[in-house]
Amino acid sequence: MSLRELAGAALSAQNLAMQAHVEGPADIVAAIASAPPLGRALWRYAYSRQDDAARHVAQYLVHDCMHRYRWAATAKTCRLAMLAVYEWTEPNCRICGGRRGYMLGQRWLGCPICRESGLRRFSNNSRRRFMGEWDVALDSKLYLMLRMLTDTDATTMAVVRAQLGRCSSYLTIGQKPTYTSNHQVNACSALMA
């Protein structure tokens, strides 16, 4: 299981009891809590599929864009943020599921919808229907938002890895920690005391 899959399972877990010397869902949730607010909301929505978190991702995205790019928090910016969140979390072609084609009997057929790229193509017409209008300026803003989501996902991954790596070198739930130095053993003992 990848760390993102483990995070999705941990964020949906019913039992967050702590266990000594064993990494569990509570440890992963605690590691995610150290990430920036946009990253926490993004992982909650994208990897645990908690649909109510989409609104929070869009709100944090607008907030971060206001501070980074000096954009105004208008209704159009909020709607564009929802579009960015949707496009970022649904990257695969709906017909082939990202496989770039499908088998028909014994014959491989390339997907005509995504042109064998496996990626979902969002047309400017579908964006215009969602937004009410579409132009080059909105296209540029959408690109910046999608880039911010990708960068935030990578930052969140680094933060979670660093938080989990403080006490162990493992990333699988249920495994016992393997310590690489006495300093790590002392640090972990202090954290668990």
> Do 75 and 58 form a contact (C-beta atoms < 8 A)?
no
Mean pLDDT within 156-172: 69
Residue 15 has pLDDT above 70, yes or no: no
Residue 180 has pLDDT above 90, yes or no: no
User: In sequence order, what are the residues at sequence separation of 6 or more whose Cβ sits closer than 8 angstroms to the Cβ of residue 39?
Assistant: 32, 152, 153, 155, 156, 159
Which H, E and C letters describe 106-141, residue by residue? CEEEECCCCCCCCECCCCHHHHHHHHCCCCHHHHHH
Residue 19 has pLDDT above 80, yes or no: no
Residue 169 has pLDDT above 50, yes or no: no
The mean pLDDT of the chain is 79
How open is the CA angle 155-158-160, to the nearest 5 degrees? 110
* Start-to-end Cα distance in the chain: 29
Closest by alpha carbon to 192, among 33, 18, 10, 24? Answer: 18
Q: How far apart are CA 149 and CA 60, in angstroms?
A: 10
Mean pLDDT within 15-35: 73
Q: How far apart are CA 119 and CA 175, in angstroms?
A: 36
For the chain, the structural domain boundaries read: 3-91+120-192
Residue 46 has pLDDT above 90, yes or no: no
Alpha-carbon 42 to chain mean position: 5
User: The tokens of 44 are what?
Assistant: 């909650």
Q: What percent of the chain has pLDDT over 90?
A: 31
Q: Quick one: pLDDT at residue 98?
A: 83
pLDDT tens digits, 87-141: 888 888 888 888 888 888 899 888 888 778 787 878 889 899 999 999 889 989 9
Residue 68 has pLDDT above 60, yes or no: yes
Q: Quick one: pLDDT at residue 172?
A: 45
pTM of the model: 0.71
Q: Quick one: pLDDT at residue 17?
A: 65
Element (DSSP H or E) covering residue 107? strand 107-110
Q: How confident is the model at residue 170 (pLDDT cuts 50, 70, 90)?
A: very low
What is the number of other CB atoms lying within 10 angstroms of the CB of residue 9? 15
